[in-house]
Structure formats: C-alpha cells, structure tokens
C-alpha cells in the first residue's frame, strides 16, 4: 500500500471480507482489524483517501460519458442505528454528487409488491459512470422477510441462489459490487437508541418500531449469518464492518470503495476530437484578439 496509507497494516478488502467459516457469534463489533492508526488520525486519513476516491470517481464519471459501461454499486446493510446514514453522508459525501445514484429501500410499495422482489432493485442499478448506493437492498428480502416470514420459507429459501445469479449477471454487465454489512453490537444499539431519546436533534431518527425489531435480534443475526454463508461469493463478496466505532466503519468503507475503484484501473478517456486541430483553432482565436 502507498505511504499515505500506512495506518492500514492489512487491507480491509482482505481483513473484512467474509470467508468460509466466518461466524457472527465470534465477531467483535468494536474491533478495528488491520488498522494501526488511532481515532485522532482518522479524519486526516479520511480526507487523504477521500481526495483519491473523488479523483477516481471523476475518472469513472468521465469514462461513463464516453464509451464506458462500468459502474460501482455500494450495498449497505445493517441493523437499525448501525450507521448506514453516516456512511452515505461521510463516505459517499466525499465524491461529486453528480456521479452518485442513491436509493434507499423501505417497505415495498403496492406497485413494488406486484412485481418480483428484484424488480425495484434492478430498476435502481447505477447507469454507466456512476456509483450506485443501496441503503438497504435486495438483502432485506432474506433478512426482515425471513425474520418475520413475510413469505413462506420455501420462497425466501430459494432467494439466496437467485440473488447470487442476479449479482453475477450485474457484475458481468460491468458493475463492480461492494457489499458492506455494518455490524453494531446489541449493547451499542441500545446506547444509540438511548442517545436519540436524550437529544432533540436526534428525535427525528428515533423510530419506536426499532425497539420492536430489536426483540428479534437473534433471528436477525441468524439471517445475516445465512446471507453471509450463502451470498459471500468471489464475484460479490460480503464485507463485515465492525460498526461500534463509527469513525472506523467510515474509514473502512472509504477504503473498500477506493480500492474497488483502484482495482478497476479507470483512466481518463482519450480525446474524441483532434487535439492539434482544436489547439490551432483556439490559437487562431487568441491571435485575433
């Protein structure tokens, strides 16, 4: 890794990747795997990496304006209070909003319900040159839907393979998928819910329904484990991001996105005009002044 990136001993692309044998029960949501720096370094590092991320995003955008068909899709999942909104604001906010296509997925509307569960997801895929951001995603259809049995187990049970096949198709069409699960501990979730009730500037984030969902914590963890076991593929691996320390989660997702774009080797598109001719035309205008 580059000099400026020295605080990462190991790349989060490797350390946070969900591999076979990964167990949520053994996962430490307050850990900072692979990071040797301190919290006090994090804002400077965010700025440094953010500049690189922003430059890469501009290249991707430029590529999309010419012949390119590539894009990036950042999938963000996590329990309530895990910090999904903070990732959108602090990480995605590092790049030019023109190049971002953000979608959040709530309870399906009547129209969405009348289609297959992947219909609304397909419609929200990023167009060439863009970074698509899914705040919640098709994984809700094997998380909340599984926990509450909104459809028969035989139906949600088939979805893991369907999702893998759908993601493979998306990747083959030129979209790099970066899947991030923000893993907040049950204790830290309670702290965050409590804080929301103590601060008038956070009341708007408090949803009484979050407490009801919290009572299904173990079933949610089982559902996350299954999504990891079944859908962390080579084509679109999951990354489990420890999220009890917000600064770490934001740094880690910044790094994952930056590395994904670095891997894509996005270069500035060549001029689609004759540079010499255009230079001469501009020079002639200059001389005529």
DSSP 227: H
| C-alpha to C-alpha distance for 134 and 140, rounded to whole angstroms | 11
| C-alpha to C-alpha distance for 207 and 212, rounded to whole angstroms | 10
Helices assigned H by DSSP within 66-201: 84-90, 110-113, 119-123, 144-147, 153-172, 186-198
Which residue do the tokens 């850990």 mark? 31
CB closer to ligand ATP, 105 vs 166: 105
CB closer to ligand ATP, 143 vs 266: 143
Minimum CB–partner distance for residue 136 and ligand ATP (Å)? 5
CB closer to ligand ATP, 14 vs 161: 161
CB closer to ligand ATP, 31 vs 104: 104
Six-digit token string for 198: 């103590």
Minimum CB–partner distance for residue 210 and ligand ATP (Å)? 7
Give backbone dihedrals phi and psi of 104, rounded to 5 degrees, phi first. -110, 145
CB closer to ligand ATP, 8 vs 156: 156
Minimum CB–partner distance for residue 75 and ligand ATP (Å)? 13
Which residue do the tokens 């700025």 mark? 47
Binding site for ligand ATP (CB under 6 A): 80, 84, 104-108, 136, 140-141, 144-145, 150, 207
Minimum CB–partner distance for residue 140 and ligand ATP (Å)? 3
Helix (H) or strand (E) segment spanning residue 78: strand 71-78
Helix (H) or strand (E) segment spanning residue 102: strand 100-104
| C-alpha to C-alpha distance for 100 and 149, rounded to whole angstroms | 34
| C-alpha to C-alpha distance for 228 and 209, rounded to whole angstroms | 25
Minimum CB–partner distance for residue 213 and ligand ATP (Å)? 7
Which residue do the tokens 């129209």 mark? 111
Minimum CB–partner distance for residue 132 and ligand ATP (Å)? 17
Minimum CB–partner distance for residue 120 and ligand ATP (Å)? 9
Identify any residues that bridge with 74 across adjacent strands, giving them in sequence order. 133, 178
């Amino acid at each position: 890794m580059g000099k400026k990136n020295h605080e990462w001993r190991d790349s989060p692309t490797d350390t946070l990747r969900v591999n076979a044998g990964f167990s949520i029960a053994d996962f430490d949501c307050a850990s900072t795997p692979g990071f040797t720096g301190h919290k006090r370094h994090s804002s400077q590092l965010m700025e440094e990496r953010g500049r690189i991320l922003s430059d890469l995003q501009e290249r991707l955008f430029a590529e999309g304006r010419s012949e390119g068909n590539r894009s990036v899709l950042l999938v963000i999942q996590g329990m309530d209070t895990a910090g999904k909104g903070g990732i959108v604001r602090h990480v995605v906010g590092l790049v030019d909003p023109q190049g971002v296509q953000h979608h959040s997925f709530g309870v399906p509307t009547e129209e969405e319900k009348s289609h297959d569960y992947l219909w609304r997801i397909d419609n929200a895929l990023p167009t060439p040159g863009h970074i698509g951001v899914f705040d919640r995603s098709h994984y809700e259809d094997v998380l909340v839907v599984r926990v509450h049995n909104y459809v028969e187990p035989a139906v949600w049970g088939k979805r893991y393979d369907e999702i893998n096949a759908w993601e493979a198709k998306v990747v083959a069409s030129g979209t790099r998928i970066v899947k991030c699960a923000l893993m907040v501990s049950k204790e830290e979730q309670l702290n965050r819910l409590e804080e929301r009730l103590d601060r008038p500037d956070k009341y708007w984030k408090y949803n009484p329904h979050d407490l009801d969902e919290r009572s299904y914590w173990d079933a949610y963890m089982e559902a996350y484990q299954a999504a990891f076991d079944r859908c962390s593929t080579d084509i679109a691996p999951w990354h489990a991001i420890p999220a009890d320390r917000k600064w770490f989660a934001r740094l880690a997702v910044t790094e994952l996105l930056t590395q994904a774009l670095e891997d894509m080797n996005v270069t500035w598109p060549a001029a689609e005009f004759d540079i010499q001719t255009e230079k001469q035309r501009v020079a002639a205008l200059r001389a005529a002044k």
